[in-house]
């Protein structure tokens, strides 16, 4: 669902219950809900599921689980347990479902958490995901808001998964040809989250359905802060530009673009393809982290060898929240 539709529906709900245990709930939208147990511990709750974006059932399971776990990491939490959510047509055969669940199980295991159960529904189109529960220290949780003027903006995975998955569906790419992308989507955001915590990140979210610009916009308060990113610093999965230029733009990218109309200032030299990529909805995208520049070295040093990260922009003071894209 696009951000505009979602807002309309949420407005129709009665106001969220006020309890002091609710640190993050419906009234303060963020990556996951946070419920305080005591002064040291809070539970982090999230759930996510979707239709297959790759053909290999095991890898689809892994990606779906990495994506569901990501919202726990975006809050600075540690995953504890997960429940499977399965919609599946029996006609596809139980072996395929077993492979999807094995992929999900392996990703949850890698996260140090356990799958405790789940629920299945007979459905025409397969869907898979998980509800995940994690733990966070109430004083150390990472939320979307909190960046300040002068903070650096870091992204921890390349962009392009929506465009490349669209090209895969249309038969312009094979799954082998998007190997790096599949690996990237299956990778956990755990190390990036731990590094963000270690370096004292001011704010954090993960890049998913609203695209880079949609999720970055959610990091901006209603006034006082804006962000400038440089297009040349944005990392892309292989062949993203080529496939975008061929028109492999998912419908979600257009919704994201409409939603942000008037809130993004592009450098005049930027073409349509580059703009589409910045609105591209991501599956299991990286973390967006706001850090004081003098903490970047600590962030880098906290990441394991081989974990990529990219400094893509910087926050600055401005009366109204906008995102500037420079060449
Ligand atoms: Co999220
Ligand atoms: Co989320
Ligand atoms: Co989510």
**At 52, which CATH number?**
3.30.1330.10
Q: What is the CA radius of gyration of the chain?
A: 19
Q: Does 96 share its domain with 238?
A: no
Whether 316 is in a domain gets the answer yes
**At 176, which CATH number?**
3.90.650.10
Q: Ligand 2 centroid to 204 CA: how many Å? A: 12
**Nearest one of 214, 274, 284, 232 to 249, comparing CA atoms:** 274
Q: Ligand 3 centroid to 208 CA: how many Å? A: 7
Q: If DSSP codes are grouped into helix, strand and coil, which group holds residue 33? A: strand
By the 8 A CB rule, do 218 and 71 touch?
Answer: no
Return the structure tokens found at 305.
Answer: 């060898």
Q: Ligand 3 centroid to 270 CA: how many Å? A: 30
Q: Does 58 share its domain with 106?
A: yes
Q: Does 184 share its domain with 126?
A: no
Domain region containing 86: 3-136
Whether 144 is in a domain gets the answer no
Ligand nearest to the CA of 214: 1
Q: In terms of residues, how long is the chain? A: 327
Profile the chain (327 residues) by mean pLDDT over runs of 10 residues.
Answer: 81 80 88 96 97 96 98 98 97 96 98 97 97 97 97 98 97 95 98 98 98 97 96 97 98 96 95 97 98 98 95 97 95
Q: Does 315 share its domain with 216?
A: yes
Q: What confidence score (pLDDT) does residue 80 get?
A: 98
By the 8 A CB rule, do 75 and 141 touch?
Answer: yes
Tell me the C-alpha distance between 112 and 194, whole Å.
Answer: 14
Whether 231 is in a domain gets the answer yes
Q: Ligand 3 centroid to 110 CA: how many Å? A: 19
Q: Ligand 3 centroid to 204 CA: how many Å? A: 14
Q: How many domains does the chain have?
A: 2
Return the structure tokens found at 79.
Answer: 């995953």
Q: What confidence score (pLDDT) does residue 59 get?
A: 98
Q: What confidence score (pLDDT) does residue 153 get?
A: 98
Indicate the residue among 136, 167, 198 that finishes a domain: 136
Q: Does 76 share its domain with 215?
A: no
Q: Does 18 share its domain with 62?
A: yes
Q: Does 114 share its domain with 248?
A: no
Ligand nearest to the CA of 189: 1
Q: Does 174 share its domain with 302?
A: yes
Indicate the residue among 136, 164, 185 that finishes a domain: 136
Q: Does 267 share its domain with 195?
A: yes
Whether 146 is in a domain gets the answer no
Q: What confidence score (pLDDT) does residue 2 get?
A: 75
Q: Does 30 share its domain with 107?
A: yes
Query: 204 φ, ψ to 5°?
Result: -160, 145
Whether 219 is in a domain gets the answer yes
Q: Ligand 2 centroid to 269 CA: how many Å? A: 33
Q: For residue 81, what is the enclosing H or E element?
A: strand 78-88
Task: Kindly compute the dihedral angle of the four CA atoms of residues 146, 112, 95, 163, in this order, to the nearest 10 degrees.
Answer: 30
Helices (H), 203-285: 211-217, 240-245, 251-259, 272-279
Whether 143 is in a domain gets the answer no
By the 8 A CB rule, do 315 and 147 touch?
Answer: yes
Whether 141 is in a domain gets the answer no
**Nearest one of 151, 280, 283, 284 to 219, comparing CA atoms:** 151
Q: Does 235 share its domain with 320?
A: yes
Q: What confidence score (pLDDT) does residue 28 get?
A: 83
Q: What confidence score (pLDDT) does residue 261 get?
A: 94
Q: Ligand 2 centroid to 72 CA: how many Å? A: 9
Whether 55 is in a domain gets the answer yes
Q: Does 181 share its domain with 83?
A: no
Q: Ligand 1 centroid to 288 CA: how many Å? A: 10
Indicate the residue among 136, 170, 195 that finishes a domain: 136
């Amino acid at each position: 669902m696009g951000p505009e539709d979602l807002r309309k529906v949420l407005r129709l709900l009665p106001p969220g219950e006020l309890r002091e245990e609710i640190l993050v709930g419906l009234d303060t939208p963020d990556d996951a809900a946070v419920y305080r147990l005591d002064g040291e511990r809070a539970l982090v709750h999230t759930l996510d599921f979707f239709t297959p974006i790759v053909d290999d059932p095991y890898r689809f399971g892994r990606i779906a689980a990495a994506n569901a776990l990501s919202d726990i990491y975006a809050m600075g939490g540690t995953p504890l347990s997960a429940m499977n959510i399965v919609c599946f047509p029996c006609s596809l055969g139980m072996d395929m479902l077993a492979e999807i669940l094995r992929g999900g199980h392996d990703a949850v295991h890698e996260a140090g958490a356990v799958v405790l159960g789940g629920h299945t529904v007979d459905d025409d189109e397969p869907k898979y995901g998980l509800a995940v529960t994690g733990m966070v220290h109430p004083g150390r949780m990472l939320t979307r808001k909190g960046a300040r003027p002068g903070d650096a903006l870091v992204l921890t995975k390349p962009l392009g998964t929506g465009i490349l998955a669209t090209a895969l569906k249309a038969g312009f790419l094979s799954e082998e040809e998007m190997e790096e992308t599949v690996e990237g989507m299956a990778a956990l955001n755990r190390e990036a989250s731990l590094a963000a915590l270690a370096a004292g990140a001011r704010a954090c979210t993960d890049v998913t359905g609203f695209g880079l610009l949609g999720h970055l916009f959610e990091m901006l308060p209603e006034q006082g802060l804006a962000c400038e990113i440089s297009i040349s610093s944005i990392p892309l999965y292989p062949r993203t530009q080529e496939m975008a230029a061929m028109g492999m733009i998912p419908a979600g990218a257009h919704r994201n673009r409409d939603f942000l109309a008037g809130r993004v200032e592009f450098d005049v030299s930027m073409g349509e393809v580059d703009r589409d990529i910045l609105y591209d909805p991501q599956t299991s995208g990286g973390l967006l982290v706001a850090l004081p520049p003098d903490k970047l070295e600590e962030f880098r040093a906290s990441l394991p060898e081989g974990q990529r990260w990219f400094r893509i922009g910087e926050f600055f003071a401005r009366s109204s929240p906008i995102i500037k894209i420079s060449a």
